[in-house]
């Protein structure tokens, strides 16, 4: 199942898990902050932009193959370096040490990074988070609603988007965290426990949702859209980079939008490409897209409000050490400009 967890992270550019590190390429490249301009602040001389991705394919795969980012940035004399990660938290850690300028990641790493004082800005929304995280049960389970989870064993990966979704979801059914027996398991272990009946339910993300529903091993008890508990993902930029090079932030989003539009207009080709890249059945790729289609739009007020609920909850359960105002890190000026003047 490891390959499927990797697929999700690669295709959506974000996921929603906990470990990993920067690639050797990122370590060798010169970050924007580590290479201050010898001329004016607006000069790009000697500048290398470090772009973080989760996995080597997916949405960014075509762009990297065609060198769309390199072509546009090199027009300004700016080089591009790529850094591959397995999840979001290592991305924010790399940003904190000035080794990464751009990243795409889920709501949990964003909240944790802000609480840790890492300087960054959210520059667009990457995923609406309605259906990409869910609680699943066996197809013949007697559990039919959230309230039926009382006294049951529920598998979940602590610190993941699913962890946040599960505990906030319980509240919608009038339950508390103490009303269930949470079994802390990573996806590989949780899959086995789910299949053998070691747990009664599983709070997880795609591709595990799609894999289990496609094979009739499980069914969705509730997802974000049903409970009103969303797990959105975002594109972020290192704060110092945005302050120094705002035009390059806009350019990054323009090329990203070009990549997204290519996928939309070549969907069959793109999905076959993804299936071949990661050696998984095409229906898995197709199913994942129906649950979570990538976007690149300004962060709306209701999304900010939902992210604030996540931050407040994480503070209440002591996963973060201080209260934060998530609106302080949201900056829509770059995506607004990027969408006004799209690349051909």
Tell me which fold the domain 2-128+232-340 belongs to.
Answer: D-Maltodextrin-Binding Protein; domain 2 (3.40.190)
* pLDDT attached to residue 285: 82
* pLDDT attached to residue 55: 72
User: If you average pLDDT over residues 59-71, what whole number do you get?
Assistant: 91
Q: pLDDT, tens digit, for every residue of 231-262?
A: 999 999 999 999 999 999 999 999 999 999 99
Q: pLDDT, tens digit, for every residue of 123-150?
A: 999 999 999 899 999 999 999 999 999 9
Domain positions in the chain: 2-128+232-340, 133-227
* pLDDT attached to residue 188: 83
The residue whose two tokens read 């909240």 is 111
Q: Which run of H or E residues covers position 82?
A: strand 79-85
Q: Measured between alpha carbons, how far is 339 from 197 in angstroms, rounded to an integer?
A: 48
CATH of domain 133-227: 3.40.190.10
Q: pLDDT, tens digit, for every residue of 85-106?
A: 877 888 999 999 999 999 998 8
Q: Is the pTM of this model over 0.75?
A: yes
Please indicate whether residue 73 or residue 22 has the higher confidence score (pLDDT). Answer: 73
Q: Are 111 and 307 in contact (CB under 8 A)?
A: yes
Q: Measured between alpha carbons, how far is 134 from 115 in angstroms, rounded to an integer?
A: 26
* pLDDT attached to residue 1: 45
Q: Are 190 and 199 in contact (CB under 8 A)?
A: yes
User: Where would I find the H helices in 67-152?
Assistant: 68-74, 89-96, 107-115
Q: Which run of H or E residues covers position 101?
A: none
Q: pLDDT, tens digit, for every residue of 254-310?
A: 999 999 999 888 989 888 988 887 677 888 888 878 888 889 999 999 999 999 999
Q: Are 14 and 233 in contact (CB under 8 A)?
A: yes
Q: Measured between alpha carbons, how far is 17 from 187 in angstroms, rounded to an integer?
A: 10
């Amino acid at each position: 199942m490891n390959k499927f967890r990797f697929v999700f992270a690669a295709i959506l550019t974000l996921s929603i898990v906990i470990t990993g590190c920067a690639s050797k390429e990122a370590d060798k490249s010169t970050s924007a902050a580590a290479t201050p301009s010898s001329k004016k602040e607006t000069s790009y001389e000697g500048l290398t932009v470090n772009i973080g991705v989760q996995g080597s394919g997916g949405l960014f795969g075509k762009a990297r193959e065609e060198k769309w980012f390199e072509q546009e940035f090199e027009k300004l004399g700016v080089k591009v370096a790529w850094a591959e990660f397995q999840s979001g938290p290592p991305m924010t850690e790399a940003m904190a040490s000035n080794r990464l300028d751009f990243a795409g990641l889920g709501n949990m790493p964003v909240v944790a990074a802000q609480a840790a004082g890492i300087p960054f800005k959210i520059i667009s929304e990457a995923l609406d988070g309605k259906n990409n995280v869910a609680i699943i049960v066996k197809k013949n389970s007697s559990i039919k609603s959230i309230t039926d989870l009382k006294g049951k064993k529920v598998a979940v990966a602590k610190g993941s988007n699913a962890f946040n979704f599960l505990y906030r979801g319980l509240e919608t059914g009038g339950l508390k965290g103490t009303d269930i027996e949470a079994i802390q398991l990573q996806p590989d272990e949780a899959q086995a426990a789910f299949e053998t009946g070691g747990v009664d339910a599983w709070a997880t993300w795609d591709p595990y949702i799609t894999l289990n529903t496609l094979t009739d091993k499980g069914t969705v008890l509730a997802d974000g859209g049903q409970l009103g508990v969303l797990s959105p993902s975002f594109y972020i930029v290192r704060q110092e980079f945005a302050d120094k090079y705002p035009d390059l932030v806009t350019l990054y989003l323009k090329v990203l939008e070009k990549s997204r539009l290519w996928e939309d207009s070549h969907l069959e080709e793109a999905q076959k490409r993804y299936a071949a890249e990661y050696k998984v059945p095409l229906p898995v790729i197709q199913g994942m897209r129906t649950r979570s289609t990538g976007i690149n739009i300004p962060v709306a007020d209701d999304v900010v409000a939902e992210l604030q609920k996540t931050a407040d909850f994480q503070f209440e359960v002591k996963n973060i050490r201080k209260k934060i105002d998530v609106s302080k890190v949201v900056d829509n000026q770059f995506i607004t400009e990027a969408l006004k003047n799209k690349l051909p």
